[in-house]
Amino acid sequence: MDLVVGATGDLGGRITRRLLEQGEQVRVLVRDTSDVSPLKAAGAELAFGDLREILTVDAACKGIDRIISTATGASRGGDDSVDAVDRKGHATLLRCAESAGVPRIVYVSATGFKSDSPVDLARAKATTAEAIRSSGLSYTILQPTFFMESWIGFVVGAQLRLGDTVQVIGDPARRYGFVAVENVADLVLSVLDHPDAQRADIPLSAGSCSYQQIVGWIAKAIDRDLQVHSVPPSSAIEGFPPILNELWSFAATGGMGPLTTPKVAEKFGFEMIRPRAFVQDFFGTD
């Protein structure tokens, strides 16, 4: 049986649905504060709990063959701080997995997340990844680049609802790697039993481009005259979550750069959604 932690999130939800469609048995560690009815309807076994509550994590790990964790406190806030969820919560998960004899874990980190990063989320995820590597479990640590749904769909889409100017932190011509959430789910599903993915870190990126290019493609797709306005790193775009502004400043000052991994998709057998195709699909009218 698989245990998905983060199943009420975007990526974890896709992974859970696809595992169930493949006929796998899936348990999900979920909080009753989130809407779990779609997971229940899809056939998941609900284990109510919280990464911050060790007894619930311990119970959820019993009888599990593979853990997939996509959980993060970054988008939640309050008691779900980065420290409580991404650092301590995952230390708890690993401890419970080891004591329950779970053989394998797949963990979603990100490209460029290192233990000496100025961003706490990056440091916390790097610490968790290191603990997983040092554990006795077979593991795969995924290192995707910026999710297009967040960093193009939300970042540009939210600004276009307010006007024709898109604010960009740092140089608009700077290129970053991007990947679609569905492709991250493709990779998770493919690595679960793959012999080449045991005790491995795998980066994933569909393509690299700049916000200047992205805004140009969107302007064409929606037939609007759009402007790009650059703000310096360390400034915040109003209305955006603090973690997003912080990560963008980190990326804009060299923390993340261009990356494309065509061989990963080829090896694990799926088609990458390229940034331009994503833009057309997300913003286009036809």
Ligand X SMILES: NC(=O)c1ccc[n+]([C@@H]2O[C@H](COP(=O)([O-])OP(=O)(O)OC[C@H]3O[C@@H](n4cnc5c(N)ncnc54)[C@H](OP(=O)(O)O)[C@@H]3O)[C@@H](O)[C@H]2O)c1
From candidates 3, 11, 124, 132, binder to ligand X by CB under 6 A: 11
Exposure string over 79-103, b if 16+ CB within 10 A, otherwise e: ebbbebbbbbbbbbbbbbbeebebe
Exposure string over 153-175, b if 16+ CB within 10 A, otherwise e: bebbeebbeeeeebbbbbebebb
Contacts with ligand X: how many residues (CB under 6 A)?
32
- Per CB under 6 A, the segment of 72-80, 133-141, 164-172, 212-220 that binds ligand X is 72-80
**Distance of alpha carbon 214 from alpha carbon 47, whole angstroms:** 41
Helix 120-134 and helix 90-99, axial crossing angle in degrees, nearest 10: 10
From candidates 2, 3, 8, 209, binder to ligand X by CB under 6 A: 8
Residue 277 burial by CB count (10 A; 0-12/13-18/19+): exposed, middle or buried? middle
**Is residue 228 at the binding interface for ligand X, with CB under 6 A as the rule?**
no
- Which residues pair with residue 207 across a beta bridge? 178
**Is residue 220 at the binding interface for ligand X, with CB under 6 A as the rule?**
no
Using Cβ positions, the residue closest to ligand X within the complex turns out to be: 9
Least spacing, CB of residue 225 vs ligand X, in Å: 28
Contact 70, 15 (CB under 8 A): yes
**Is residue 202 at the binding interface for ligand X, with CB under 6 A as the rule?**
no
**Is residue 264 at the binding interface for ligand X, with CB under 6 A as the rule?**
no
**Is residue 128 at the binding interface for ligand X, with CB under 6 A as the rule?**
no
- Per CB under 6 A, the segment of 69-77, 133-141, 153-161, 277-285 that binds ligand X is 69-77
**Is residue 6 at the binding interface for ligand X, with CB under 6 A as the rule?**
yes
Alpha-helical regions (H) of 148-284: 148, 155-160, 181-191, 211-222, 242-250, 262-268, 275-283
Least spacing, CB of residue 209 vs ligand X, in Å: 15
- Per CB under 6 A, the segment of 3-11, 39-47, 157-165, 221-229 that binds ligand X is 3-11
- Which residues pair with residue 231 across a beta bridge? 169
**Is residue 207 at the binding interface for ligand X, with CB under 6 A as the rule?**
no
**Is residue 10 at the binding interface for ligand X, with CB under 6 A as the rule?**
yes
From candidates 16, 17, 72, 166, binder to ligand X by CB under 6 A: 72
Contact 219, 202 (CB under 8 A): no
**Is residue 283 at the binding interface for ligand X, with CB under 6 A as the rule?**
no
Q: What is the DSSP letter of 38?
A: H
Which residue lies nearer to ligand X by CB, 220 or 236?
236
- Among positions 149-168, residues that touch ligand X (CB under 6 A) are 150-151
**Distance of alpha carbon 283 from alpha carbon 286, whole angstroms:** 9
Which residue lies nearer to ligand X by CB, 10 or 65?
10
**Is residue 255 at the binding interface for ligand X, with CB under 6 A as the rule?**
no
Residue 126: how many other CB atoms lie within 10 Å: 21
Contact 258, 208 (CB under 8 A): yes
From candidates 64, 67, 89, 248, binder to ligand X by CB under 6 A: 89
Q: Which residues bind ligand X (CB under 6 A)?
A: 5-12, 29, 31, 33-34, 50-52, 70-76, 80, 85, 89, 108, 110, 144, 146-147, 150-151
